[in-house]
Structure 1
């Protein structure tokens, strides 16, 4: 049985300013995503150039932060917001929703695409392989904060989280999600997008893989206390929100390769 290290959530202080690990993990995700984006921007089929990557990052960061926070409020914790509206602004305390962030990023990519006169899916296919870097960094932030722990388990690597309401060993589900949503998803998308693919194919694969990984991870992750299980003693909000992603991703890939075959014939 392992025990969570109980990291200090504050990485360092600069006078009255406290820099939290959670914020730093997001910063790392954005910086590495920007660097990888500049590499992709050098490809002859890239819809943007290296100089435009900085603007694209700004739009995406705005979508992630605003969409992620608003999504968490709407999908997971609306009652807390009603009781304490300023809680919405305390992002450093944790509480970001991937699905809300995804909606924010979709809007940001649409906005940016209009600005640079590019089709929405040209931008989406370009951005999709960069997203797992931020997802993985965020899951490390969750682990450092000791939040979003897993369900009780008797496996040898079960971990006790002092922040949990008991001292039961639990799955370190944040690390499971880091491995799936961060590492495996990045490898698959980076490899798949290393060659030109039909428009919408990369975006479709992202939706399918993330949705499947998240559905699997939810079987090990403790559901949010304020929501619990939504049905049958095992369905969670994360699974409910991820299933449409898988369906939408499959539809995009079918359309993408169907259009490609039509052009070839």
Structure 2
């Protein structure tokens, strides 16, 4: 297969790019500086498009619009629509859009999140993701088969990983606020995407794995690095957990806490100790 991938060098895209190339498929990377949302790439000859690029303030997704919400919508929503239309005109049959659990944001804490729930985004980020999902779904036909991967927070080793700042603050002895969140290894997300590419299934698919407390995460980090600082107290926050039955039905099995244990040594290897 020839697969076009937006955001190929980003936090999520690099895992997907690795999965595509390791499977022996031909990768067409669409990344900065040569590509930006709003451009109309040449997708002729591509069998599939995976769209995971998103323009935002560095390091921020929710709140990623900064002080330019109009520009944020123009780049991400209008840019995504233009990309989907380019794929359809180029007769690309399979399109996978990497969306976010943020589309469920307005549901009360503790709600079991499944794909049948109506999205209730409560941030501009979630609203744009949901609107892009709708735009893609409206284009669906027998010859244009789109699917959406609603991913939770993605972690994994690599440059500028998602916990880099958190680990630095912990090692510096700064106070860390308690927090619990759902997390997913980037390699598991990439494997989910591989299954979707091989499937003709359409619609949204939740992608989530472990419920992780910062207390437990930073306790693991302290053991690996020898830091003398104490992790925050366990969080008592109620968290909405995503059900992933649709992906499980395709044979997807994420790596759980064993995946976290395998990833952490590389993620802390270049950090300070103390």
**TM-score scaled to structure 1, two decimals?**
0.35
Question: Greater helix share, 1 or 2?
Answer: 1
**TM-score scaled to structure 2, two decimals?**
0.34
Question: Greater strand share, 1 or 2?
Answer: 2
